[in-house]
Structure 1
Amino acid sequence: MRKRHLAFGAILAAGALLLAGCSSASDAGSDSTDGTGKTLTLWHYEGEDSAMGKAWAQAITDFEKETGAKVKFEAKSFEQIRSTASQVLNSNEAPDILEYNKGNATAGLLASQGLLTNLDDAVKKYGWDKKLASSLQTTAKYDDKGIMGSGSWYGVPNYGEYVEVYYNKDMFAKYGVEVPKTYDEFVAALQKFADAGVTPLAESAAEYPLGQLWYQLALTKADRSWVDDYQLYKGKVDWKGPELSHATETIDDWVKKGYISKDSSGLKAEDAGTAFIAGKYPIFFSGSWWYGRFQSEITKYQWGTFLFPGAKMSPGSAGNMWVVPENAKNKGLAEKFIDITMSDKIQALLGNNGGVPVAAKTSDITDEKSKDLIANFNTLTGEDGIAFYPDWPTPTFYDQLNAGLQELVNGSKDPAAVNKELGSEYQDGVDQIVNQ
């Protein structure tokens, strides 16, 4: 989740995969980085004022200067790419390179369909594996079933992301709330705001924020083995166990206590984020991708961040990836562009504008708030605390999780019924992937 998922498509037969791997599109000029007279078609969905948007705009300038090629950049919304990827990438309309979401249900699915280029040779050529921590490589590699963590490289991330607590320092001071250091202190802070008539958590159940909070609550009771079972299918997930029971029961409890508004059932991520920007809520639990926007748009109060108290793991991963479609016409140039985004210059630019670079030199990061953002990420990666996202296990689980949490928030189902439904949907999706 940042976010999200790709609708499940038909898996191509082994013969089709073999043909895709041997197609002329994958062979013709795949190593060429001479861009004279050529145009690289590039898609991504980051805002032009975001850290990634700023860094990649500079990367385009550098790429054109270094290669002699022109870049045809086409801004796409996430939904445009999400809803049409399988069809577009399986046609002559495929771009040369695009940003795509990572995980079994997204990049893994396309890789298993033979729609993405195997990047193993490019990784070796450019040494990207030496720039990425092992935990950040998990989502770049997929096996023949599209399951992440092993197999070949099908994408390259150049930024990281994770979920943390954003808080309004002015509201904390006004209501005498200290920054919590333990889970119990966090709950006490929520109660103190509620007692003062303030709903503490900016939330959205129609999109990803509430799902991320739900997963974080499960992680307070979980260990790495549980995450591997949930995300990588290494063992059976018990939907009546302490991890998921605690998560769903706590969300239900927090709605009843007024920590989460019942109105959040119909709100989207943008609604929650802009409400926090406007100073209407003291706390917003969401991803590092909001950081740069908050830096530029929050002007009326002071704000800060901290990792979720009482948990050694948090939702997060390497960021969305650059992928090269199997039908790309300029694969060598696409790989060269990826390498430029991994350069010291672009990594530093990303880091100093509110992003989380994966290969920046510490001395190149000069912005103080950015140092805090990156330090929290480094804390998580240093403790093996990156736990991926709750919707990743199956292509349909993003919508299913949101729907289940909406039912929980509006009171149409109790926690046990929600977990029973989610557990069944989760297992059905996992079985389709594992048994394909």
Structure 2
Amino acid sequence: MNRRTRVLTGMALVAATAAALTGCSGDSSGESDNTLTLWHYEGADSAMGKAWDEAIKVFEEETGATVDFEEKGFEQIRSTASQVLNSNEAPDILEYAKGNGTAGLLASQGLLTDISDAVDEYGWDDKLAPSLQTTARYDDEGVMGDGPWYGVPNYGEYVTVYYNKDMFAAQGITVPTTADEFEAALQTFTDAGITPLAEAAQEYPLGQLWYQLALSQADRDWVNDYQLYDNPVDWQGEALTNATDTVKDWVDKGYISQDASGLKAEDAGLEFINGEAPIFVSGSWWYGRFTSDITTFDWDIFEYPGSELNLGSAGNMWVVPASAKNPELAYKFIDITMRPEIQAILGNNGGLPVAANIDDITDAKSKVLIDQFNTINERDGLAFYPDWPTPTFYDELNGELQNLINGSSDTSAVLTTLGEDYDSYVEDFRK
């Protein structure tokens, strides 16, 4: 689950938002010029935003071309992609979410360019570890992991455990290395009147925690069944039952507040930033913000204990629409973003570079994040996100977890509903 939602919306909303996005990509004649139209949704102060800003400057200096850049909201791009990319208003290059229900869906619809030849020409495959290539390649049905290249990721992301070192020290808690030690730490905080986990169920990250709990009982074959549809998923099996039972148990014990059912990701993040909750299980995309915003206490990260698998993948990626007017300029820009000096900007500002020289990373805090990511990646531990298998699963999972927290559904009912939604999509997909 990338840090933002990935669900399909109604056609009325799509049409309305598409109208707001038009007029951004130059003339509609289909003729190329010396302008690269570029969309991405990274904030100017984010690690990626800083790196891409420098890449734009380098691109314009080296090519003599002009970049027509507009920062778009993630929801703008997500909700209108099929319509905008199927028109003459499409940009030459844009950042887009990876996964079967997003990039895979557009690839299967013929809306993205097969960039395999460019990958060979520029050698981007040599710069990306095999596990990071999974989300860049899609077969004819839009399933990731095989087939042509439809995008190039140039940063990584994963879910980790953020913790307030001062609050841990105050309760005499050391960093847990097993699942039992983690639960003991949660109980210690609860006994002290502190709700330990900053959570939200209206959006992520509770769905991420749920999936992480499932991964702690799973292996790579299970992940391939769930994400790649290799075999049917047992929705009442050990992994998913344990995850759902544990979430409910942790709500009942006070480890997770019942208020989480009405909270969003920003609310949960602020609980941690403000020192109200000692633990926040979520993505590396928060790292740079925590580094700049947390000034009243010391914090760090540790891997979720007791699991060889972690949520994560290559980050969102550059894609080239099939209707792009200047694909060759797009390829040149992608190549610049893969250069070590651009990757170092990303890495020194809290991001996760995929092609940096480690010696170029001078920020000590950033090295901690990168080292942990590399450790997970080296053991093939990245297991993607729970909402990836279907275009609507993000909302469905959040809704069912809200029902679980509120007590309106038990584990069996939650998993039955999720399983029916998942199986229905996969069955239709495979027809």
Which SS does the other structure have where 1:313 is aligned? coil
The residue that corresponds to 1:73 in the other structure is 69
Alpha-carbon RMSD across the aligned residues, in angstroms, is: 1.5
Structure 1 consecutive aligned stretches of length 4 or more whose deviation exceeds 6 Å: none
The residue that corresponds to 2:8 in the other structure is 7
So what's the TM-score if we normalise by structure 2?
0.94
Question: Deviations for 1:105-125, whole angstroms, at most 9, x for unmatched residues?
Answer: 000000000100110011011
Residues in 1 aligned to 2:331 and 2:62: alpha-carbon distance in whole angstroms:
13
The residue that corresponds to 2:215 in the other structure is 219
1:341 aligns with 2:337: yes
Which SS does the other structure have where 1:245 is aligned? helix
Question: Deviations for 1:30-49, whole angstroms, at most 9, x for unmatched residues?
Answer: xxxxxxx6221111111111
Aligned AA (1:284): F
Displacement of 1:9 after TM fit?
9.6
The residue that corresponds to 2:186 in the other structure is 190
CA contact (8 A) 2:201 2:263 kept: yes
Which SS does the other structure have where 2:146 is aligned? coil
Displacement of 1:430 after TM fit?
1.5
CA contact (8 A) 2:6 2:391 kept: yes
Displacement of 1:137 after TM fit?
0.3
1:245 aligns with 2:228: no
The residue that corresponds to 2:371 in the other structure is 375
The residue that corresponds to 2:82 in the other structure is 86
Residues in 2 aligned to 1:271 and 1:139: alpha-carbon distance in whole angstroms:
29
Alignment of structure 1 residues 252-271 onto 2, 5 Å: 252-271=248-267
Alignment CA distance shift 1:121-1:9 (3 Å): farther
Residues in 1 aligned to 2:257 and 2:157: alpha-carbon distance in whole angstroms:
27
Question: Deviations for 1:52-103, whole angstroms, at most 9, x for unmatched residues?
Answer: 0111110111111111111111111111111111111111111111110000
Alignment CA distance shift 1:267-1:8 (3 Å): closer
Displacement of 1:432 after TM fit?
2.3
Alignment of structure 1 residues 168-207 onto 2, 5 Å: 168-207=164-203
Which SS does the other structure have where 1:55 is aligned? helix
CA contact (8 A) 2:36 2:65 kept: yes
Aligned AA (1:126): Y
The residue that corresponds to 2:307 in the other structure is 311
So what's the TM-score if we normalise by structure 1?
0.93
1:145 aligns with 2:118: no
Percent identity of the aligned residues? 68
Aligned AA (1:42): L
Question: Deviations for 1:380-420, whole angstroms, at most 9, x for unmatched residues?
Answer: 11111000000000111111111111111111111111011
CA contact (8 A) 1:8 1:105 kept: no
Which SS does the other structure have where 1:339 is aligned? helix
CA contact (8 A) 2:7 2:394 kept: no
CA contact (8 A) 2:7 2:393 kept: no
Q: 1:231 aligns with which of 220, 227, 231?
A: 227
Which SS does the other structure have where 2:174 is aligned? coil
Residues in 1 aligned to 2:381 and 2:388: alpha-carbon distance in whole angstroms:
17
Aligned AA (1:120): S
Displacement of 1:208 after TM fit?
1.7
Alignment of structure 1 residues 1-80 onto 2, 5 Å: 1-3=1-3, 4-7=5-8, 38-80=34-76
Question: Deviations for 1:197-249, whole angstroms, at most 9, x for unmatched residues?
Answer: 10000001011200000000000100000000000011111011110000000
Which SS does the other structure have where 2:144 is aligned? coil
Q: 1:328 aligns with which of 305, 317, 324?
A: 324
Q: Which structure 2 residue ranges, 5 or more long, are not aligned?
A: 12-27
CA contact (8 A) 1:9 1:86 kept: no
Q: 1:409 aligns with which of 378, 389, 405?
A: 405
CA contact (8 A) 2:9 2:79 kept: no
Displacement of 1:433 after TM fit?
2.0
CA contact (8 A) 1:262 1:410 kept: yes
Displacement of 1:174 after TM fit?
1.4
Residues in 1 aligned to 2:273 and 2:331: alpha-carbon distance in whole angstroms:
37
